[in-house]
Structure 1
Amino acid sequence: MISAISPQALQGLDNYIRVAEVEQVVDSNQILVKLSQDKRVFELWVCFAMGNMPLPQVGDRVLVAGENVDGGYIIGHFPAQAVPHQRFSIEQDEASGKTILSVPEGDLDLRSEQGSICLQAAKNIELNSPQFALETAKGEFNIVDASYQGLRLGASIAQTKLFLGKLNTTVGRLIEKAKNVYRQVDNLNQLKAGRMRTLVKGSYHLKSESINQKADKDVRIDGDKINLG
């Protein structure tokens, strides 16, 4: 049974090093361990003194060192279960002059908990992956000259605004579908086509200050009733 800490129970713990078992972990400065002294078992609050290493978990064995009964420091950690460690290497390729950060197994996570991440290069920044995902609440792209090449491009956008000085579009086949289309052209609106066909299910209205229609050959008008004037 674990006994309460008393000066008598802790006699002989001056300048001690003991193997203990972790009972509770609050933070790096408050770790409760259980160790033995003179065939008695008691608890002691100690601090973690192994830098950025992972904190021990309940049930792990640790090596505790201290000067007196007021506490101690964990200077060794023996996990109850094996903790996997990701290995990485930084190499210098003399032939190409590249510095290579390599992670043979697992994922690589670049994270800034309270700051920003900035990537700067005097030349190119290249991303090469079978799949690429970008997720953010707000984004801004400032690119002087951009190009896209691919087999397919899909987009689902709730609202879009485009301000273009000039737009040139060349497609093999164009299919457009919309519930309503409103277009405003301040000056000239010109359409040049080999053939033209307009199919209107309902009424067709055309209004202009003046209309000039000219055909090199026949002009045909067919209707149940034609009103002129």
Structure 2
Amino acid sequence: MNNALVSMTRPGAEAAVGLHYATVTGRSDKWYFLGAADIGRAQRADSCLVEPDCGDTVLVCAGGGNAPAYILAVLARAERDSAVLALPGGVALNTDHGKLTVSGRQLEMAATESLTLHAPKLGVAALLGELKFGSLETSAQQVQARFGAVSLMARALNSTVGRLVQRAKNSLRWIEGLDETRAGRVRAQVEGRHEVRAGHATLIAEGQVKIDGTKIDLG
């Protein structure tokens, strides 16, 4: 690549001020080192959003006297598949072989009508999450969830399932009002002791009542 210095000063402008082509050879903090005869280093101008990298061809504005030189634009990228769009406030958009990364202290998206995401795969990771909806509707073919602890509070809960299977080491329920079960058939199988205590107990059967045991104590 030709790194020769090419001056593009305007007619009537000061001879010490001009625009030049240069190649970036290195960087130290805010300074970019250039492969140009008369310009050793330059800073990136606020108008130059694409962050220069080594090997890039840039447009440099060189001031007269002790004024620093500024990189106005990146004309040609050495690595065409990646770039960093640096914005004021520490916000950056990074592209790397088709991958886009947006980085910043806080990121907020606001839409006046709707926001839609489409992707074959979606991943979200955070130390703390919060979702608020006025109304929420979800649908999925299959759901697998793993939680350390779950707390659920609802004014009313209605569920309709084709088959319900639950497994637990211990199950405890506290019901202040009515606990009613309606089923076609009910079967309880207990390996150890089955105990029922009530202030009043009533057992009503329209057909046969059968009690079978090695020993039966009544009263």
- TM-score, normalising length from structure 1? 0.66
Task: Tell me how far apart the structure 2 counterparts of residues 25 and 167 of structure 1 sit (CA, whole Å).
Answer: 61
Contact 1:56 1:77 in 2 (8 A): no
SS across alignment from 2:64: strand
Change (3 A) 1:80 1:166: closer
Task: Tell me how far apart the structure 2 counterparts of residues 201 and 163 of structure 1 sit (CA, whole Å).
Answer: 33
Are 1:219 and 2:203 matched, yes or no?
A: no
The number of residue pairs the alignment matches comes to 190
Task: Tell me how far apart the structure 2 counterparts of residues 142 and 45 of structure 1 sit (CA, whole Å).
Answer: 51
Structure with bigger gyration radius: 1
Q: Which one of the candidate residues 46, 64, 67 is aligned to 2:64?
A: 67
Are 1:106 and 2:108 matched, yes or no?
A: no
Aligned to 1:46: 42
Task: Tell me how far apart the structure 1 counterparts of residues 180 and 99 of structure 2 sit (CA, whole Å).
Answer: 56
Gaps of 5+ in 1: 1-12, 38-42, 87-104
Shift of residue 70 of structure 1? 7.2
Identity of matched residues, %: 26
Contact 2:22 2:35 in 1 (8 A): yes
Gaps of 5+ in 2: 1-14, 84-96
Aligned to 1:84: 81
Aligned to 1:171: 161
Are 1:118 and 2:109 matched, yes or no?
A: yes
Contact 2:56 2:77 in 1 (8 A): yes
Aligned to 2:32: 31
Q: Which one of the candidate residues 126, 146, 150 is aligned to 1:160?
A: 150
Aligned to 1:200: 190
Task: Tell me how far apart the structure 1 counterparts of residues 81 and 103 of structure 2 sit (CA, whole Å).
Answer: 23
Task: Tell me how far apart the structure 2 counterparts of residues 194 and 115 of structure 1 sit (CA, whole Å).
Answer: 56
In angstroms, what is the RMSD of aligned CA positions? 3.3
Change (3 A) 1:56 1:131: closer
Task: Tell me how far apart the structure 1 counterparts of residues 107 and 75 of structure 2 sit (CA, whole Å).
Answer: 36
Greater RCO, 1 or 2 (C-alpha within 8 Å, sep 6+): 1
